[in-house]
Chains A and B, each alone.
Chain A
Amino acid sequence: MKRIHLKQKCQISLAAMSFACALACVKQVPSQQLVNARAYFEQAQRAPATQYALDSLYEAKRSLDEAEEAHEEDPNSYRELSLAYVAERKAQLAMARGGLAYAIDVKRNSERALVDRQQALLEMTRKDAAAVSNQLNIQAVQLQQTQTALEQERAAREVETSAQAVWASLGDIARVRSDISSTTITLDGAVMFPAGRATLLPAANDTLNRVARSIADIAPGATLKVVGHTDNQGNAANNQKLSLARAQRVADYLVQQGLDPSRIEALGVGEQFAATTNDTPEGRANNRRVELVVQQAVPSGLGSPGTVCADGKAAVPKALPPSPPVGDTNPIPIATETTPENTVVAPSRGSVH
């Protein structure tokens, strides 16, 4: 009986030791706090922002390790719970610090980008302003040029208008025709000279005085060509000489009236450039004439649309006759031209332009 009792005691002791060993071998289930700490740490490890706070993550790992050690030493103890709590918070801190650093980084980069963009915009605005300013300057210069041109044109038109008025005032003694660069004053030969002669009639003095005054007033610097014309009656060579003598006589008279002799040229073209037909007395009378061609430089910006006569009618522009060789300019009486009263019909040589 005693033996049995001892045997039972041994069995019980053995069973107890085995149970104790089994208990020791079974790993303790971790607390919920520790499980949470592990989960937060893994989450912190995966979070991209935590890369901005690696020191905090390392600190969280150390706290988690302490909690794990506490769990190994004394499972579910207050120490384990507290250390796991601290580890969980430190994992959260690592994430929050990473987020904070990331947000600060984003803010800094955004502000830098903002400054860069604003500087770029400012630079573009400066360039635009410079371009606009340049454009305004160009427009101001163009405006100034336009104003100057307009003023010149207005002044030229005023001069032209006054010139037209002066030329028109000569309408009772001469025919006046103007084009862009010249004005032609046609004087009736019958009024100016006796038939076949190159001496001025008394009535011609008054006419030439008015013409000289007008030229001096309107075109003091202009060149003047005095061109003598005859009809086709008589000898052509004599007509040529007569026309030249008459032109020279008129030129001399104009010089006497104060015009610059260096600007005056006398030409005799005879019967070459008939103004109209020589077949009628009226036509021949019109062809016997002296033309004063006043030529002056056209002012810039002044455009004349066309040739206008002094009486307001449009005139057909005629080419200036070529300058014949100037011969003897002395006024010599040549009795070869027919007078207006001389109605002897001579064979026509045809009209000349």
Chain B
Amino acid sequence: MENFSLYQLLVPTFASLMVLRALSQLGRRGRTRREFFAVLGVWSALSLISIFPTIFVDKIALFLGIRSGINALFFFLFVVLFYVVGKLLISHEEAQEKITGLTREIALSNFRSEQNLPFDTRQHRPLTQNPAEASTQENVSRLTHTA
């Protein structure tokens, strides 16, 4: 008990709250079972590491060749977290770009119909050799067949 630190109490408490939150989300169908078990696994692991640092952290640090102990491991974990958050942000942005692309394509398609312009879903290239000769209906059917 002499070597017991405050973080060994705080981390498991916070982890329990996170698991309870995930459980509540699971009950309200806000989270899938798979996601819940992932959350449970991550927070349980963090709790165990904080409660038994000598068993886990020191061994992992020794295995990785970092001899300065827990600080080095936390630093490493922060780097991993930064990477993961960054990847998530980028994938979120990519998803947003795809939604925008779809929204734009619908808007432009309607615009071309209104302006009686040849259809083209790929930038500004005409679908036919001579777009002026192609009627809107011809291009619509072309797109329908090629899609």
Q: Are A and B bound to each other?
A: no
- Give B contacts to A, CB under 8 Å: none
Interface residues of A (CB under 8 A from B): none
